[in-house]
Amino acid sequence: MKGFEERLKRLEELSEKIHDEEVDLDEAMAFFEEGIKLARALETDLAKVERKIEILVNQADSEEEKPVLELFPELNSGKDQE
């Protein structure tokens, strides 16, 4: 996920630049536009990873083999309702 980390780092850099008082409005708007594009790309990447995790979790042969992921409680919510 090298591209993800690079985009995240660039987004952080843009955020710092926007908050710099010496940046003029036009430059800040250009940074903001680039940041929005990066944020959308990062959101897409995260959604892909989440789908892959969901697939991997659901591929387990039995309930005992399925990992309990506290990071994504909605994946395990159906287990409690059975």
Write out the chain's pLDDT in tens, 82 residues.
Answer: 568 899 999 999 999 999 988 999 999 999 999 999 999 999 999 999 999 998 888 886 666 666 666 665 555 555 544 4
Domain ranges of the chain: 2-80
Report the pLDDT value the prediction gives residue 29, as an integer from 0 to 100. 96
Report the pLDDT value the prediction gives residue 65, as an integer from 0 to 100. 65
Phi-psi region of 72 (alpha: psi -120 to 50; beta: other; left: phi over 0): beta
Report the pLDDT value the prediction gives residue 19, as an integer from 0 to 100. 92
Report the pLDDT value the prediction gives residue 62, as an integer from 0 to 100. 64
Instruction: Give yes or no for a contact between 18 and 31, defined as CB atoms under 8 angstroms apart.
Output: yes
| Residue with the two structure tokens 């892909």 | 48
